[in-house]
Structure 1
Amino acid sequence: MIVVMKAHSNNEEIQHVLKFLQNHGLSGHLSQGVERTVIGVLGQTGNAGLPSGIGGITPGLEDSLEGLPGVDNVLRVSKPYKLASREFHPENTTVEVPVACVADGSVTIGGKDVVMMAGPCTVETEKQLMTAAEAVRKAGAVILRGGAFKPSTSPYGFRGLGEKGLQLLAKARHEFGMAVITEVMTPSDVAMVCEYADILQIGTRNMQNYMLLDEIGRTNKPVVLKRGMSATIEEWLLAAEYVLSQGNKNVILCERGIRTFEKATRNTMDISAIPVAKTLSHLPIISDPSQGTGHRHLVGPMTLASIAAGTDALLIEVHPNPDEALKDGAQSLTIQQFNELMPQAQAVAHAIGRDFITR
């Protein structure tokens, strides 16, 4: 359920509505747009114990809310996710990330321009990371990806350097002025990773790790939420709801392919999820064609397709020597391939009226 305030409602009237909700055991999340202010009502409001917007509303609650000063009308939210939905937040959300290497000192994800995030899947050595970081920065990437903690299907796979890897990422950020995105896997690691990273990444295996989502929601760090490998779009948006409901509004969705019956690719890259998510949600969405396909010869075509479909950023794996990578070398571009891809990506962006933030 959402409470739509009148166009000229004042702060006193808004606070009165929030206090009214609190007195009824509910909470209100404020969204102030250019044309209107809406308050999302969260909590148990029906006799069946269903969240607001899904099940029965306590008798008289809607009428009482509509009678409060400054309230225009009360609407039921048709989606099980509220804070992530366009019904609650009709205007696009943008996420600001501090980036020293660009003129403005930050980049906007979800705005007019496209952002390139690139780097190795996993931080292996200082030389490997620095070589990759320097190369992708020269080609136009402004955010450095790299895993310090890596989940592996096999317990014998390389699982990352841990805090040492985070320290190397921080060193690369200082050296090249790029922001850093890296994965956090457990609630107990969130505080430590926040010390080093500019963007927290939630991997596909942790999309429904609700304790981790809650903990990240208590931070104010931008977070990239990857779609679960077998998740529907609704389940994905409900995972985003966990982060949003804890107060962190800096959520970025990431399409990274889903598991289907098809064996020709590691995952099936769901390009249609990009415009679908943009229709259902106000959150920015990015694309990971490396994880999405599992094959480096498919990364380029899926990058271009993602831009055409409306992605706000790309997350691409680049390794100085992919054939010797400790993890996911088959889906990592060489430095030369990345250099060749960037002009093509810029051309597609220009064709649809967008550009890449590179300087």
Structure 2
Amino acid sequence: MAHPTQPETRRSRRERALASAPLPTRRELRARTQARAARSGRRHPPSVYLRRRLIVGGAAVLVVAGMVSGATGIASLVSGSDSAADGSAAVASGEAATGMPRATVLPAPAQTAVPLGADGTEAEAAPGGGALCDLPAFREALDSGSDADAIAAAGGAEAFRSAVASGGAPCIDLHAADRTWVVVNKQNALDPIDYWPEPQARAEGVERTSGGHMRADVAAALSQLVSAARDEGAGEIGVNSGFRSYDLQVATYRDYVGQLGQANADLTSARPGHSEHQTGLAVDVVACDDGCGTIEGFGGTPQSDWVAANAHRFGFIVRYGDGDTATTGYEYEPWHLRYIGPELAGAYASGGYRTLEDFFGMPPAPDYAD
């Protein structure tokens, strides 16, 4: 196994990119259908050879029917009926019979590949019916560096999320450390791996037990969250930890490994380059009614309950939920808030999502690649 602090290499990143398979081909879909049919006890669908024989046979029947219809029309003309209706029908049949018999062929149904969302259902198309990355307004907003403008140009947070989850927005890089939508986990390292967010600030009017710096926009949002919790009777909320640099995460992770062993350390502390705290978008909070407590004591408090129900109003989510270890790779941390912006956080909450991996249609990341 590689050194526990070894960052993701170009080779591992390339292997992960290759592992992100494109939409299945028709052959793969057909194989999956046959496999499902076998498991459920149904017979396999007819082979390609058999289907061709059936189509040819059906076309032959139609040709014979056309020849019979033409012969009937000729007989009607010869009969010389004086009825106007019969005469009209005879003329029409005779005209049809003057040419070569034609078989009616039904067009085959379209087989356009439909992108699927994370839940397996059909994903919404990008505005205007085209690929999101081909929309000039979206590309302009994305290139300008404004995350909020890019989300708006995509047609809103849900359209943005759906495009990413369906694989229809390759221009959106979930590795990019400076984006609010970055997903950093055990399978997804930061890019660049030694990223340092700027500008940074401390949340005004918020108590802290240590450090407390974070991205400036996150600090402003946290100040609003803490003020609202106070005004709505939930109590005081303070900051235990905000931004941690790559080098600090090296020391932090080594301490956990020394105390708990690597397997247990990996459940509670990220390896360097894989920590949300390095983005400046994550903050650990504590309850501060009669002095600030510890992060371990945050769960079950009025502040914790209020945060779980209301954090999305201010752009935050509880990143590592109870029972989600198999997806996130971390134990339940009700104190760990992650800022993704109010637009995406609103879509996250209204959609009932529990992890960013599910939100963006990414595979679970319970373990490191190495």
**TM-score of the superposed pair, with normalisation by structure 1:** 0.23
Structure 1 or 2: larger helix share?
2
Larger Rg: 2
Q: Which has the higher contact order (CA 8 A, sep 6+)?
A: 1
TM-score norm. by structure 2 comes to 0.22
* Structure with a larger share of its residues in strand: 1
